[in-house]
Amino acid sequence: MRRPLLLRTRLAVITALVATCVIAGMSTATWLVTEHNLRAQVDEALLPKPAPNETVTQPARPVDLALYCEERPLEVPGQTDKVVVVQGVQLIGPDGKGCAPPWVDPVVTIAADRTVTEPTLRDGVSVAGDPVRVLVRPVGEGAVMLTSRSLRDVQETLSELRTLLIGLSVLGLLVAGGAGLLLTRRTLSPLERLTGAAEHIARTEDLDTPIDVAGRDEVGRLGRAFATMTGALSESRRRQRELVTDAAHELRTPLTSLRTNVDLLAMSENSGRPIPADRRATVISSLQAQTLEFTELIGELVTLARDERELAHVEVDMATVIDQAVHRATSRTHGHRIEVDTAEWTLQGDATSLERAVLNLLDNAIKFSPPNTLITVHSQPGWITVTDQGPGVPEEHRTAVWGRFWRSTEARALPGSGLGLAIVADTIAAHGGKVHFTDPPTTPGATVRIDLPHTAPRS
C-alpha cells in the first residue's frame, strides 16, 4: 500500500505546479508579444510611408524594371501566379511571367494575386527555405510589384528568445520549488511541533506538556486553542483527583464510626450477651444518623461531579425557586424565622441546582445562627442575598469557605461534610454568576450575595 504524501510535500508540489503554470504563461505571452512586435516592424518597413498631409497612391508601373524583363525574365513552370523575391523588388506581368533586376534573387511560394487593388502583406518562403514577408502592390495593366524582406533575423531573434525563456523558466521553476519547499517547511514547523506535542500527550497522558506554538496566524490560533483545551482537561483531572482524595479522607471517619457500631451489634449477637435496651437504641440511632450522613455526602459528591453540560437551560422563575428553598429550609430550623422579600425575575438555567444552592445557603445560615433569630432573604432581578445573625466569617476565611470539604475549627463539631458552600460556588459559576460576602468581616452575622445574569423581570 502506497504511503500518502506528507502535507509538506503536497504543498510543495502544488506550489511548484502553480509556479510552472505562471512561468509558462508569462513566457508564452512574452514570446507571442515579441513575435508580434518584430513582425510589425517588418511590416512597417515594407509599407509605404506617406508624408504629412499626403495619401498613398498606386505606384506607376516602373518602366526601368520593365527593361529588365527582356534581359532577365523569370518564369516558374506551373506557378505562373506565384513569384516572389527576397530583399528586392520584382514585377509580375499580366501574362503571369515575372522579371527582376540582376541584383535580386527571386524566390518562390507566395500567392501573388494580380487582382489586388491595394497593397497587401503576404508570408512566403524563399527557394533556400528562408521565410520572407512580401508586400504585393498593383501597378496597373494587371501587373503587380512585389517588395520583400527576409524574416531570418526575426526567426533568429525569436529562437534566441525561446532558448532564453526556456532557461529562465527552468531556473524559475527550480527557485520557486525550493522557495516553496522552504516556505512550506517553515510554515508547517509549528504544526509539526503541535502534532508532536499531541502525540506525546496521547502516549503519556501528560496534560501538562507545554505547547510551544507562537504566532498570530491560523496555526498559532490552533496551538493556543489546543493549549487551552489541554489546560482545561488538566484542571478537570486535578479537580477530580482532589475530589476523590478529599472524599476518601472525609468518608474515612464516618465509615469508621459506622463499622464500630455495626461490629458492636455483631459482637452482641455472636456472644449471646445482648446490649442494654437504652444502649442499643443509642447505637441504632447513631447508625441511622450515620447512614443519613452518608446519603447526604454521596448526594453532594454526585452534585459536585456533575458536568456543567448536564445542567438544564430553560427559563427559571427565581421567585418560585427561592420560595421552594425557603419552604424546605423552614422544616430544619430551630425556632429561626425566615423573612423573604423577593421580586419576580427569570433566567436561563437549571431550577433544581439553583434551588439546591439557595437551600445550602439557608442551611448554612441556620447552622451558625443562634436559635430563634432572624434570617432574611432579599431578591431583585440579577441578585439574591441571605443574611443571618451568626458569628460571621473572618476575612482570612472568606475565600477558603467556598472550597470542597473546608470547615473551620468551630464548624468541625457540627454536622456537615463541608461541601454545601462548594456546591453553591460551583452551581453559580456554572450559571455564569458569582457568590461572595458583602457584610463587613468585623461585624456579627454574615450576608452572602449571589449575582446571576437574568433575562427580564415579569411585568
Rg of the chain over Cα atoms, rounded to whole angstroms, equals 51
Query: Among all chains, which residue has been given the C-alpha cell 459536585?
Result: 304
Nearest to 112 by CA among 84, 74, 75: 84
Predicted pLDDT of residue 244: 75
C-alpha cell at 321: 425557586
Predicted pLDDT of residue 80: 38
DSSP 142: T
Query: Among all chains, which residue has been given the C-alpha cell 487582382?
Result: 115
Predicted pLDDT of residue 118: 80
Predicted pLDDT of residue 137: 75
Nearest to 356 by CA among 299, 414, 408, 294: 299
Cα dist. 342→264, 307, 319 in Å? Answer: 51, 30, 6
Within 10 angstroms of residue 92's Cβ, the number of other Cβ atoms is 25
Question: Side chain identity at 48, as an amino acid letter?
Answer: P
Cα dist. 232→208, 210, 227, 411 in Å? Answer: 10, 13, 9, 33
Q: Provide DSSP, 387-418.
A: E--S----GGGTTGGGSTT---TGGGGSS--S
| DSSP bridge partners of 387 | 376, 447
* Strand 374-380, strand 337-342: pairing: parallel
Cα dist. 263→208, 266, 272, 283, 291 in Å? Answer: 46, 5, 14, 11, 15
Predicted pLDDT of residue 183: 81
What's the CA gap between 68 and 357, in Å, rounded? 122
Which residue ranges form the domains of the chain, and what is each CATH number? 1-46+154-204 (no CATH), 57-150 (no CATH), 218-302 (1.10.287), 306-451 (3.30.565.10)
C-alpha cell at 327: 419552604
Burial (CB count within 10 angstroms: exposed 0-12, middle 13-18, buried 19+), residue 312: exposed
Predicted pLDDT of residue 60: 40
The answer to whether 143 and 114 are in contact (CB under 8 A) is yes
Predicted pLDDT of residue 56: 42
pLDDT averaged per 10 residues in sequence order, the chain, 459 residues: 68 82 90 92 78 45 45 41 43 52 50 64 74 76 70 89 91 84 80 83 84 76 86 81 71 77 84 82 82 74 67 89 92 85 92 90 89 93 93 86 73 64 89 90 85 71
Predicted pLDDT of residue 437: 92
Predicted pLDDT of residue 386: 95
Predicted pLDDT of residue 44: 86
Q: Phi then psi for 9, rounded to 5 degrees? A: -65, -40
What's the CA gap between 399 and 450, in Å, rounded? 15
Q: Phi then psi for 449, rounded to 5 degrees? A: -115, 135
Predicted pLDDT of residue 128: 65
Predicted pLDDT of residue 38: 92
Predicted pLDDT of residue 106: 52
